[in-house]
């Protein structure tokens, strides 16, 4: 009977070892599949997050440069109009030798345009006073006042 018990015990140990081995193998394979699935998911989400961040950065940068471009274009128009205004002021002719003189001038610079008007008054034989104003295409005006003397 000893031999049958030994045989049964050996078979039980072998069955237990086989069960442990199968359980370990199953657990290891399940862990590998779970880890692989988690890595695939994580990698996918990471790439997705990177792509979203890059896209948002591009949109933000494009918007900011678009705003800057508009500001620069507006500034350029104002500058061109201002230069046209100064050109119009400097183009006003005056009649020499008169006590009172007036004139009108126009100016253009690139996409800026302006018109100017001015008066000159001789306050003494050796002193003149002048007042000029210009209006430009950007809706601004420039005013100048001057005095000249001579002998």
135: CATH: 3.30.1300.30
User: What's CA 19's distance to the chain center, in Å?
Assistant: 67
**Domain that residue 116 falls in:** 1-151
Q: Which residues of the chain have pLDDT under 50?
A: none
User: How many angstroms separate the CA atoms of 115 and 98, rounded?
Assistant: 24
Please report the pLDDT score of residue 72 as a whole number: 97
What is the pLDDT, as a whole number, of residue 52?
Answer: 92
Total domains, the chain? 1
Question: What was the pLDDT predicted at 30?
Answer: 86
Instruction: Give the contacts of 2 (CB within 8 A, at least 6 positions apart).
Output: none
Tell me what pLDDT residue 119 has: 97
């Amino acid at each position: 009977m000893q031999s049958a018990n030994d045989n049964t015990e050996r078979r039980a140990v072998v069955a237990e070892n086989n069960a442990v081995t199968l359980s370990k193998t199953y657990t290891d394979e399940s862990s590998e599949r779970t880890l692989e699935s988690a890595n695939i998911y994580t990698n996918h989400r990471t790439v997705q997050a990177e792509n979203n961040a890059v896209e948002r950065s591009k949109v933000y940068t494009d918007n900011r440069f678009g705003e800057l471009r508009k500001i620069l274009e507006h500034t350029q128009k104002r500058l061109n109009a201002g230069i046209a205004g100064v050109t119009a002021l400097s183009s006003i002719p005056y009649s020499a030798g008169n006590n009172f003189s007036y004139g009108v001038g126009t100016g253009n610079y690139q996409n800026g345009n302006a018109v100017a008007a001015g008066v000159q008054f001789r306050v003494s034989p050796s002193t003149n006073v002048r007042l000029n104003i210009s209006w430009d295409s950007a809706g601004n005006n420039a005013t100048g006042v001057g005095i000249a003397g001579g002998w």
